[in-house]
Structure 1
């Protein structure tokens, strides 16, 4: 293989015969291209070369534009300009750092000069590759740090009330994710908080924003008062709800903090935040722009979607969140998920879709929460096939078994499930 590759601009005065003769006698591969091809031609068709040989009459700015585009292909070539008597034009190129050739164009001198340029071009490529590797290592370290930060904010174990089952599946699309989930106790262990959220975007930035939102939600909820609010039941009556105050305070305070301090960053999160009474199965919740969770009846049939009760968190200052209410009877399952489930893509780019998801959950009715997650996880994996996972997949199933040991009379007993 030739040790030096040279691009000759052929829409300007051609190199003099002496220079062409010297080029042909040295170990070089010569190609001819117009300046316009180098400046505006498709990047994938640009030549790879060590040296760009141009007459001094070509404007220096035009040559620099061509070199910048060639750099995108395989590193920048060394510019060598030649002239016979245009030394004023040559001075401009020398000031730009370009090399040059002037008569006499002796083969040995031309060969030595171009070989030197070839070595400089190779050294430049080597240094750029080393920088790229170092940058990749640094990025991988940052990802690992982000992954460790995120792992520290996801629960290691879940508090599960007696008479209930909780199962979770969490598959990030990358090393770090924007999805998160949380389960924790409220109101002196009399209530159970369940959170599933999806921060817009992915990567380290989304993971850090996730950690912030999760901390704000949990801290505010755990430190709110015990004032009783009421929610509307299915029959239209008013039902006292213990735990609604921490719920409202957590979501509204988090939204207020984010819109006051981080609106310019452009991050926001959709979330479902439910507070369960383990004794009765009543659930009060806020759905901030999130995929509506699905309530699966023990008797089967079409799942019931829990309505959205407000916008995503971190978008609108001073917005109002209302309370939603649901009832989980023995045998029922609440399926909470992020959009990575219905928006899972097959190799042809089609989504799994909400309708397909509803069909999968309708018949036959799953026996418990784990059956729900197994069925949906298998469906997502089968639909995705060999395609890349485009979004984080998070699923949580809250199940109330039919024949379960009842909670303690003085409050819900809990066990911790890793």
Structure 2
């Protein structure tokens, strides 16, 4: 039999001579304590025990209190009540579910009972391990289902207007993510919506809010885009016309504002107590002119990389994060893309990627790497993946990473 550690539980720490000799004969290690000593012991000060031999004069309630105290430290010893003379005192303990030990305390009988206790403890541990493993498998399966559902909220394929190349990289830190991206067409395919967002926190809660926010944004934008198109047609506006000025475009700004303001209103009205919010970049691109109107709600500034070699332009926040403050103002930002330019939109999992020494990748290194990379979307994302991998080394990915590259091909590249 493996080494058995026994706690002798008695109000006076009395261990009958016969029992003490029998325990010694079978090689058991004994520890005599009063119930009060066990209950008052600091965490980690109690010895690991396989069995508790409780004197029958103790009440079953007291014995249960002691075993609960041991259970707080992960111990699950088998309880055996013993008596010297007043054998009727064992009745309450047996009814309470304890085993029992009777005199004379012969070593062979004591060893057999302790062996039963040891095997019982091993069986309990095995049962618990099996149950814990089954629960883990069930939890992992639920997470996998959640991952599949979440992936269903992401676009299966990205729109590809003529002469445009749009690619994405999406790497959750866990099975489910708080990051999301979306690219979809608006106003009768005349505008392109570009969304990258990051719900605070990670895991299941963030993933649920990701699905909610993404659905609100897309539904509101699509409905507003349709209304915007009808209004523009009635006013005789040309939705596909050039919008090179800084004036608010007739088509594009309305669905953008309605989507962001409406989503923020809904979240602050119904989900403030959950404490989730999101940073978000939502841009509406005219693929004919390259004009971009956007709202950056507290998100990392996307980088507009010039194909002509001009300095990169950072599209700074135009409003707060969404889901925190009701009735806030979101301003519109404007940018213009030319053939050869690339827009790089990302989440903070990129800039906050940590190296093995704990340093952050950071915005400066991001811009440096982007200016060194080729501008074509796929090659740009490959370059950034490599730069992040080299920087992080063996360190674990700590946050979701999303990168969206939008490239306007030059006429030569488009012809190829």
Q: Which TM-score applies when normalising by structure 1?
A: 0.83
Name 2:370's counterpart in structure 1.
Answer: 361
- Judging by fraction of residues, say which structure has more helix: 2
Give the whole-Å Cα distance in 2 for the aligned partners of 1:38 and 1:236.
77
- Deviation digits for residues 219-270 of structure 1, max 9, x if unmatched? 11111121569xxxx9985243411111111111112222222222222221
How far residue 358 of structure 1 moved from its aligned partner, in angstroms, is: 2.2
Q: Judging changes above 3 Å, is the alpha-carbon distance between structure 1 residues 98 and 189 closer, same or farther for their aligned structure 2 residues?
A: same
Give the whole-Å Cα distance in 1 for the aligned partners of 2:127 and 2:309.
64
Give the secondary-structure state (helix, strand or coil) at the position aligned to 2:69. helix
Name 1:15's counterpart in structure 2.
Answer: 15
Runs of 5+ unmatched residues, structure 2 = 238-242
- Asked if the contact 1:310–1:322 (Cα under 8 Å) also holds between the matched residues in 2, the reply is yes
How far residue 292 of structure 1 moved from its aligned partner, in angstroms, is: 1.3
Give the secondary-structure state (helix, strand or coil) at the position aligned to 1:144. helix
How far residue 164 of structure 1 moved from its aligned partner, in angstroms, is: 1.4
Is 2:281 the counterpart of 1:281?
no
Is 2:121 the counterpart of 1:121?
yes
Q: Judging changes above 3 Å, is the alpha-carbon distance between structure 1 residues 155 and 77 closer, same or farther for their aligned structure 2 residues?
A: same
- Deviation digits for residues 321-344 of structure 1, max 9, x if unmatched? 221111112222111001110111
How far residue 87 of structure 1 moved from its aligned partner, in angstroms, is: 8.9
Give the whole-Å Cα distance in 1 for the aligned partners of 2:189 and 2:88.
86
Runs of 5+ unmatched residues, structure 1 = 408-418
Structure 2 counterparts to residues 137-286 of structure 1, below 5 A: 137-224=137-224, 225-226=227-228, 237-286=246-295
- Asked if the contact 1:196–1:336 (Cα under 8 Å) also holds between the matched residues in 2, the reply is yes
- Deviation digits for residues 23-69 of structure 1, max 9, x if unmatched? 1233x542548756994244xx8754421345566954651343123
Structure 2 counterparts to residues 43-62 of structure 1, below 5 A: 48-53=48-53, 59-60=62-63
Is 2:78 the counterpart of 1:69?
no
Give the secondary-structure state (helix, strand or coil) at the position aligned to 2:403. strand
Name 1:386's counterpart in structure 2.
Answer: 394
Q: Judging changes above 3 Å, is the alpha-carbon distance between structure 1 residues 345 and 368 closer, same or farther for their aligned structure 2 residues?
A: same
Q: Judging changes above 3 Å, is the alpha-carbon distance between structure 1 residues 236 and 187 closer, same or farther for their aligned structure 2 residues?
A: closer
How far residue 406 of structure 1 moved from its aligned partner, in angstroms, is: 8.3
Give the whole-Å Cα distance in 1 for the aligned partners of 2:3 and 2:396.
41
Give the whole-Å Cα distance in 2 for the aligned partners of 1:189 and 1:142.
37
- With CA pairs under 8 Å and 6+ residues apart, which has the higher RCO, 1 or 2? 1
- Asked if the contact 2:3–2:29 (Cα under 8 Å) also holds between the matched residues in 1, the reply is no
Aligned residues: 396
Q: Judging changes above 3 Å, is the alpha-carbon distance between structure 1 residues 98 and 404 closer, same or farther for their aligned structure 2 residues?
A: farther
Q: Judging changes above 3 Å, is the alpha-carbon distance between structure 1 residues 7 and 211 closer, same or farther for their aligned structure 2 residues?
A: same
Give the secondary-structure state (helix, strand or coil) at the position aligned to 1:137. helix
* 2:360 aligns with one of 347, 351, 370: 351
- Asked if the contact 2:83–2:90 (Cα under 8 Å) also holds between the matched residues in 1, the reply is yes
Give the whole-Å Cα distance in 2 for the aligned partners of 1:29 and 1:57.
23
Q: Judging changes above 3 Å, is the alpha-carbon distance between structure 1 residues 404 and 83 closer, same or farther for their aligned structure 2 residues?
A: farther
- Asked if the contact 1:38–1:69 (Cα under 8 Å) also holds between the matched residues in 2, the reply is no
- Asked if the contact 1:47–1:70 (Cα under 8 Å) also holds between the matched residues in 2, the reply is no
How far residue 308 of structure 1 moved from its aligned partner, in angstroms, is: 0.9
Structure 2 counterparts to residues 263-342 of structure 1, below 5 A: 263-300=272-309, 302-342=311-351
- Asked if the contact 1:247–1:273 (Cα under 8 Å) also holds between the matched residues in 2, the reply is yes
- Deviation digits for residues 113-166 of structure 1, max 9, x if unmatched? 333322322222122112101111111110111111012111111111112111
Give the whole-Å Cα distance in 1 for the aligned partners of 2:319 and 2:28.
67
Q: Which TM-score applies when normalising by structure 2?
A: 0.84
Give the secondary-structure state (helix, strand or coil) at the position aligned to 2:385. helix
Give the whole-Å Cα distance in 2 for the aligned partners of 1:349 and 1:92.
60
Give the whole-Å Cα distance in 2 for the aligned partners of 1:22 and 1:100.
15
